[in-house]
Structure formats: C-alpha cells, structure tokens
Amino acid sequence: MLSTRSLRGVDCRSRAVAQPRVAIGRGRLDIVCASSAKFFVGGNWKCNGSVANVRKLVDELNNGSVPKGVDIVCSPPFIYIDYVMQHLDKDKYQLAAQNCWIGGNGAYTGEVSAEQLQDFGVPWVILGHSERRSLCGESNEVVAKKTAHALAAGLGVIACVGETLDQRNSGAMFQVLDGQMQALVDEVKDWSKVVIAYEPVWAIGTGVVATPEQAQEVHAYLRRFCQSKLGTAVADKLRIIYGGSVNDANCKELSTQEDIDGFLVGGASLKGSSFVTICNAAGAKAQV
C-alpha cells in the first residue's frame, strides 16, 4: 500500500547546485514509496554508433555481470536493432525502439509502426523523449496517442516527461508535468506495461544532474498524481525512473531515493562498463 509522509527537515537550499541555476521546487523532501515492480534500467543510445562501435558495446554488455532482479532494456538506433537482437545476451537484456509511428502500417514514408516492432520481436519503445518533443514538435496529445497505440499493439512503453530549465525556474514545473501526465491519463487504459521516465530537460546531456532530493521530490509528486488519477493499485505498481546525466558515479545515491524505481540512461549507456555499473545500482531494490 502507498503511504504518504514528508520529511520537513530536508531543505534543498543547503545543497550546492551546478550552473545553470536550477530552482529547488518546494524545498522539502516528499516520500510516497517505490513501486512493487522490478527495478528498471533503460539505455538510450540515441543517434550514436557505427557497426564497429555497436559490436564493441554489445560485447562489453554481454561480458558484464548484471542482476537478474532488474529489468534492463537497451535501445539502439533502428539501423542496428537487427544486429543487437541477434547478438545481445537475451538472458540479461531486452530491446527497445527509440520511437514509433502514431498509427498502424500504411503510406507513412520514413516511419516505423508499433505493429512492425511487435512483429519483429522488439518488446519496448521509448516515447515522448524531450528531444522528440522539442526537435520534432510532438505535443502532449501526440505522445499520449502514440503511447496508447503502442500499448494496443502489444509493446511496453517508456513514456518520458520533464520540464525545461525555464519552466522549473519560473515555477511552472508542476503545471507542465500535470499537462504531460494528464494527456497520458486521458488516452491510456491499461498501465501494466507503462514505465514513466522523469527526465528534466535541463539535465539531459548537460552534465548537470538533479540532486537526489530534487529527483525524489518530482518522483513522489508523479506517483501521488497517479494515485489520485488512477488509484492506489496502479500507482503502487507503476515504475517511475529517472533520466538526466545518470552515470556510474551518481547512480548509487540516486537509487537510494524511495520513489526512484530505476533509470533511463543516455551517454553512459554507450560505455559498457558504466552501464553495467548503473544496472547494479539497484541494491536492495533488485528483486531476488
């Protein structure tokens, strides 16, 4: 069952925050709870790699030791999915696509449908990443409709939400998150195969990482939002993972926060040893 409590004595103002200036939110640490599902780590390779680099990375991942009690997903560029599928250790890792079309098959040049991914054996897809939202103009409603369609096609969805630096510093962070989440609530009927990835846009690829307190505050807020909109049973099982310059140096401290159920990793997922270290950061949250 979910519990709700606040640690009033923790004040994020006392922590040094890397530039650029990042507002601290409400200045207290809220705790709801971690989900009851497996810890989840996703590696988003983005538009990176070559044949040689992908081969090397796959070999490094296969040689790494990762816990069985963690769901681990690797997301290569579309062009390398077949190679990765054929060579990545299936006992350790699953696959995810980085995007899919909003509808089914048809005359949509350059797109890949959820049905095609499911047919090819790719079980997961990342949707709503901030780079898709900002560079490709995907709105909350488009992301939500994509998510619902992918779920209906049988895929699991890593649905990304998060605020920009201006939105956080202006005090609009929670309003932005509400809009992103409400669009999903309006479209998604079955949440059993959804993972929410909180990725503050100001921390993606910048080297600036949300403090554990900042990440925990938002994760608790998102879980409480889901509790109010979807009920305790859904919120208790929903995995909310953190992304934003996660690496092998900061993952352990982030993983200790109660409402962080895993990570969506960018640059560090391109280094086999670093990604393996992050996969092992679950500690006691890894299911036996």
Q: How far apart are CA 19 and CA 202, in angstroms?
A: 10
- Beta strands 194-198; 70-75: pairing state: unpaired
Cβ atoms of residues 194 and 157 within 8 Å: yes
Q: How far apart are CA 111 and CA 213, in angstroms?
A: 39
* Catalytic residue from among 131, 138, 163, 199: 199
Count of alpha carbons within 13 angstroms of residue 195, beta-carbon side:
31
Is residue 163 among the annotated active site residues?
A: no
Q: Which two tokens stand for residue 157?
A: 């969805």
- Considering only CA atoms, which of 141, 140, 146 is closest in space to residue 162? 140
User: What phi and psi, each to the nearest 5 degrees, are found at residue 109?
Assistant: -55, 130
* Catalytic residue from among 115, 129, 138, 163: 129
Q: Which two tokens stand for residue 279?
A: 């996969």
Is residue 115 among the annotated active site residues?
A: no
DSSP 242-284: EESS--TTTHHHHHTSTT--EEEESGGGGSHHHHHHHHGGGGG
Q: Give catalytic residue positions.
A: 129, 199
